[in-house]
Chain A
Amino acid sequence: MTFLLTEDQEMLRETAMTFAREELPITHLRTLRNKGANGVDPETRQKLAELGFFGVIIPDEPGGEHFGLVGLGQILEAQGRTLAATPVMQTALIAASALQLGGSPAQQAEWLPKIAGGETTFALAMDESAHFNPLGVATEAERNGQGYTLNGMKRYVPDAHHADMLIVVARTFGEAGDRHGLSLFLVPADAKGVSIQALNTVDSHGAAHVTLEDVMVPEGALIGAADQGADVLEPVLDRAAIGQAAEMLGSAQAAFEMTLEYLQSRKQFGQLIGSFQGLQHRAAKMFTELEMTRSCVAAALSAVDEGKDNVAELASIAKARASDLVHLVSNECVQMHGGIGMTDEADPGLYMKRARVQEAMYGSASWHRDRYARLNGY
């Protein structure tokens, strides 16, 4: 395992940071929000495609130099800094991983180049309740003559309101709670029987409820083996949790820097408020947490690229710690800004709103602590 970036990854990081700073500053999210775009931003999607950001974990594709998940983590961290709403997580990470880990050669040949080129975007439609629960899927996939018929309802699916394709987790066997019996299907978002209800979400990124009513898909839509979907889904979700942790690290870092700047400029009682020990120690603790979480995220990203056998454990550590971190820092960011932190005009509130969405995605801190304990036999 290494914590150091290669020269190529370092350059990618630099590019992603510059792009986020210059093209996707937080004012960009504000503009999108104010015009009611709900996170839909085709121009940015185009720019991301031109930069090759969709193909960083896809080897042998045009623009797809192999930067690995470590490389993609740098992009997500950069996006996290400015709370950018982009299809990178769902498409470049989740869909690319699902196809690489479970897709047939034909599926890979069809979709990976379209992902790398930014032509097609995806959304993973999995959860059916208000909490992350991969095994809780009840959506039915019933075999018919030519393929499968899907029926069910998916809640709060990120990007489903603008994605071209859905990866639907459905049940071909057993009942909710069973690991065996899950299957993954590629479903065009405009297929007959798919209805998408766009949601206005607290973080202005948007999401959608997805209803599947007698949706017919061919045999070739199945990713991996029927009933064995968890074997593909679980490593994909671990990578998503790690990628989400990288994004959260960026958000926490930026919110922390904003707070630090405020502590060094705001005066009360004739003093910079940053000279008060009551605030200094809280800032120092946040910094300690940031540094320690950075190590966990870096270790988890690199463990995936190196094919280590402790990815699940590191994913849980990274996601749980990054969730707690961004929760703490976003709250302190509002509190230490005082009244201005409560205004819509100032940015702390945007970080706090986005933080709660980030915390809920791909397993909350509690979910990951529970899973970590199970992995360790208690």
Chain B
Amino acid sequence: MAYDESVDLEQFRAETREWLEKNCPPSMRTPMKDDEVVWGGKRETFKNPDSKIWLERMAEKGWTAPQWPKKYGGGGLNPAQARVLQQEMSRIKARQPLFSFGLWMFGPALLEFGNEEQKMRFIPDIVHGRTRWCQGYSEPGAGSDLADLQTRCEDKGDHYLINGQKVWTSYADKADWIFCLVRTDTSVKHEGISFILFDMESPGVEARPIKLISGESPFCETFFNDVKVPKDQLVGEVNGGWQIAKRLLQFERSSISAGGFGGTGGSGILGPEEYAKQHIGTDSDGCLLDGDLRARITDHKMYAKAFSLTVQRQAEQAKAGQAVSHTASILKYGAAKMNQDRHELLIEALGTEGLGWEGEGFDPAAKKVTRQWLRSKGNSIEGGTSEINLNVISKRVLGLKDHK
């Protein structure tokens, strides 16, 4: 990536600070509200009008994707500058202007594997939040064994024809386009998979939301019935999709672990120790009366701190050019455990206050905890189950062999 190394970092910091002061609307410096998260795309409604202004200004500078090349609309910043931007945004508590699978997962993969024409066509719309992408990976018969996917993609001369079904497609009902794994050769497994892109408005595409135990529907079943796809929308080589798929999963796992499954809904929710103090009480020293719960809360808080220190350590080592091997799997595993433990502790500390579902009579934050607790159960399943991540660690990191 080309950048001007002579640009003085401190000067960059001063300019960035000044620009943010001038351009970040005051309401975008308040904690994110659940219903004000901007995912972009054609159907984005921008509940808070400031969020539209904020996104447009940031996207204009390429700062929604600070390190992507300028020629595709990115910020063209080097890692040090990107860190400064991050620090300056944190300093004024600026919200992330855009949440996007395009930014976190698909864009990085397309920059690596796409051809020039594809990059020019798709990347700028990701940077500006004009296209919302969804991920067509899992199928009813291909979960942990993802490479067993069966969605067919046939070469019809001047186009491809796609038939099959995906499941757990996050926000497929809200997305504009899909990046999708399809089978282009049925005689082999991994070597018969291709990576293809298409418009969710194409005839033959249908997305049906799935209602989860949390009562919410972030995922869909997605059906493809004779969907015609132009040939220039296949990324990389025909039958070469598995490499791209795996790389993209690394981006997915890193983005999950960097965010620690924190998601967007932390607002108003206290730590488990605070709820325990409220609902269980403390002794004259201020120590929680339930010593067993107190120790488990502490164990969790220490785990969380160890997790964030590990994210920092690996970022520093990567920056210094030291090899960091397959840490994404370690962090994905840790992030899932951490978030699930946290929510179990929250529910335990809240007691019956954490067992409300809807309506009056419960603290609204506690009701949010209840839903998030149920949602967190998916953390060890989505993006590679914890068991698959442990397989990856034992085989790729520790070098343990497969069973003969």
Among the 9-residue stretches B204-212, B248-256, B287-295, the one with 4 or more Cβ atoms under 8 Å from chain A is B287-295
B334: chain A residues at CB < 8 Å are 288, 292
B301: Cβ under 8 A from any A Cβ: yes
B402: chain A residues at CB < 8 Å are 275
Task: Tell me whether A276 and B397 are in contact (CB under 8 A).
Answer: no
A321: Cβ under 8 A from any B Cβ: yes
Measured in the bound complex, the distance between the Cα atoms of B398 and A288 in whole Å is: 11
CB nearest to B394 among chain A residues: A280
Task: Tell me whether A264 and B273 are in contact (CB under 8 A).
Answer: no
Residue interface mask A253-290, B partner, CB < 8 A = 1: 00000001001100000111011110011011101100
With A291-B330, A293-B306 known to touch, is A274 a contact of B390 (CB < 8 Å)? no
CB nearest to B273 among chain A residues: A378
A173: Cβ under 8 A from any B Cβ: no
Among the 9-residue stretches A161-169, A209-217, A367-375, the one with 4 or more Cβ atoms under 8 Å from chain B is A367-375
Chain B residues 378 to 404 lying within 8 A of chain A, measured CB to CB, are 387, 389-391, 393-395, 397-404
Task: Tell me whether A280 and B400 are in contact (CB under 8 A).
Answer: yes
Listed residue (B295, B309, B398) with the most chain A CB atoms within 10 angstroms of its CB: B309
Task: Tell me whether A281 and B390 are in contact (CB under 8 A).
Answer: yes
Residue interface mask A1-39, B partner, CB < 8 A = 1: 111100000000000000000000000000000000000
Interface size on B, residues (CB 8 A): 46
Task: Tell me whether A295 and B312 are in contact (CB under 8 A).
Answer: yes
B307: Cβ under 8 A from any A Cβ: yes
A320: Cβ under 8 A from any B Cβ: yes
A320: chain B residues at CB < 8 Å are 298-299, 302
Task: Tell me whether A287 and B397 are in contact (CB under 8 A).
Answer: yes
Measured in the bound complex, the distance between the Cα atoms of B398 and A260 in whole Å is: 8
With A271-B403, A378-B277, A378-B286 known to touch, is A366 a contact of B305 (CB < 8 Å)? no
Task: Tell me whether A283 and B297 are in contact (CB under 8 A).
Answer: no
B390: chain A residues at CB < 8 Å are 280-281, 284-285
B90: Cβ under 8 A from any A Cβ: no
CB distance from A346 to the nearest CB of B (A): 21
With A270-B404, A378-B294 known to touch, is A3 a contact of B312 (CB < 8 Å)? yes
Task: Tell me whether B400 and A263 are in contact (CB under 8 A).
Answer: yes
Task: Tell me whether B393 and A298 are in contact (CB under 8 A).
Answer: no
Task: Tell me whether B401 and A275 are in contact (CB under 8 A).
Answer: yes
With A292-B310, A378-B286 known to touch, is A373 a contact of B404 (CB < 8 Å)? no
B299: chain A residues at CB < 8 Å are 320, 369
A299: Cβ under 8 A from any B Cβ: yes
CB nearest to A324 among chain B residues: B299
A299: chain B residues at CB < 8 Å are 309, 313
Measured in the bound complex, the distance between the Cα atoms of B398 and A37 in whole Å is: 38
Binding site for B on A (CB under 8 A): 1-4, 260, 263-264, 270-272, 274-277, 280-281, 283-285, 287-288, 291-296, 298-299, 316-317, 320-321, 366, 369-370, 372-374, 376-378
Known contacts A274-B401, A295-B306; 20 further A-B pairs (Cβ under 8 A): A3-B316, A4-B316, A260-B400, A264-B401, A270-B404, A284-B333, A287-B398, A288-B334, A292-B310, A296-B309, A298-B309, A299-B309, A299-B313, A316-B302, A372-B301, A373-B295, A374-B285, A374-B287, A378-B274, A378-B277
